[in-house]
Structure 1
């Protein structure tokens, strides 16, 4: 999946995800984009926080902002968005 991208260009998966979102007129901050990327990779909040060098509560704040920006219905809607995004980006 996306982890294969990391071996060649560390920014390629983020750029690919950002391009996908921009085509849908979804505009995210770089940190929100990183949180979304790691969430699509199946990472939980503490793992994402460790990856980004930030606090778990900051990751939760980013996820809440993502839920609002993506227009999804709560955590269940966010999980559905993650699955659909992963299928559309990493499996194509």
Structure 2
């Protein structure tokens, strides 16, 4: 099963990603420095994030998975640094 997911951090910022194995333990790979700078040491001591599956399909081509990921990044504007942690595609705002 291939999925597109949305991670929501305690500060309300989001990250959209894809997982081609539907691994419950996978929480994406946003830029570590971008996420780290948004939280104090105390905030990192008790940290809860939410993972939501936005889309899932099997069988589906890798190209379709990428298309869906871009669609949801644009839909939720998670590539806008004020909203989320996606760095691609570049935000046009």
TM-score (norm 2): 0.30
Bigger share in helix = 1
Provide TM-score, normalisation by structure 1: 0.30
